[in-house]
Amino acid sequence: MTNTPLVKMRGITKRFGGVTALQDVNLDAYAGEVLAIVGDNGAGKSTLIKILTGVYQASEGEMSLDGQPLVMGSHSDAITFGIDAVYQTLALADHLTPAANMFLGSELTKSFLGVPVLDNKLMKAEATRVLDERLGVRLRSMDVPTDSLSGGQRQAVAIARAVYHQDLRLLVMDEPTAALGPQETARTLKLIKALREQGLAVILISHSLDDVFEVADRVHVQRRGRGVGVVKTADSTVQEVLGMIVGAQDAAA
């Protein structure tokens, strides 16, 4: 991890009409680090990452990437800057193969008698390579519908789709272990560690503090739309972070 943040968010405020979803939030994300964002429902986690990924635009505040102003009008802009997200829904087409899902919307083609046609062989080979080389995942078959895969394998396909773009620099993962069993959760956390080791900045949104303390380097705590603190997992405990989430410190004061 470097000493300079890859992405900085400063004074981020978001209003929806008369409702303030975020108020003056600061966040730093570093390359080669897993940063967890935690908080109860309504704490502003989703709004914050949607601003980071270009889905929403902040009402106030500014962002920077490598020290340069970061202004985005859409999620497509975020991808151009090397920022992407894998949401809890995964957005996979269940009836398609893993390779078809990886290249959905950006299919590889070849020319046949001057007419472009899908290059299914190349897409399958590339999907197999990315899953193996970037994530250490080998599927039993690449020719089955994606809905026949386990939850962890489906998660791997969604991650592989994001990391296939060589310019990816920051990946947001929204509740990646939700609804997974213990073994599948362990595999998914291993994937997150692999991404960190490859130098990506990873932002993990999770309600599982056990998972957070397993893989995250730092924890950013949201409460009622505000950032209430950032701690290093090595210097903190689940109990301390839980207290920040529920406002135990405020009550004690």
Q: What is the pTM of this model?
A: 0.89
Of 3.40.50.300, 3.30.70.360, 3.30.160.20, 1.20.1070.10, the CATH number of 1-82+169-253 is 3.40.50.300
Question: Is pLDDT of 202 > 60?
Answer: yes
pLDDT at 216 exceeding the cut of 50 = yes
pLDDT tens figures, 36-78? 999 999 899 999 999 999 999 999 999 999 999 999 999 999 9
Contact between 170 and 7 (Cβ < 8 Å): yes
Q: How many whole angstroms separate alpha carbon 228 and alpha carbon 147?
A: 40
Helix axes 120-135, 182-197, angle to 10 degrees: 90
Please report, for the chain, the start and end positions of each structural domain, with discontinuous segments joined by +. Answer: 1-82+169-253, 96-167
Cα distances (Å, whole numbers) of residue 245 to 34, 163, 223:
19, 31, 6
pLDDT at 251: 37
Q: Does pLDDT of 131 surpass 60?
A: yes
What secondary structure does DSSP assign to 24-53, as a single string?
EEEEEE-TTEEEEEE--TTSSHHHHHHHHT
Tokens of 167: 């310019």
Ranges 85-94, 128-137, 170-179, 227-236, most confident: 227-236
User: pLDDT digits over 136-183, tens only?
Assistant: 999 989 999 999 999 889 989 999 998 887 689 999 999 998 878 899
Q: Residue 1 — very low, low, confident or very high, per pLDDT cuts 50/70/90?
A: low
The torsion region of residue 166 among left (phi > 0), alpha (psi -120 to 50) and beta comes to alpha
Query: For residue 89, what pLDDT band results from cuts at 50, 70 and 90?
Result: confident
Higher pLDDT, residue 63 or 184: 63
Distance in angstroms (rounded) separating the CA atoms of residues 70 and 22: 19
Q: Measured in Å, how far apart are the chain's first and last C-alpha atoms? A: 35
Contact 230, 218 (CB under 8 A): yes
* DSSP secondary structure code for residue 86 in this structure: E
> CB atoms < 10 A from the CB of 182, how many?
8
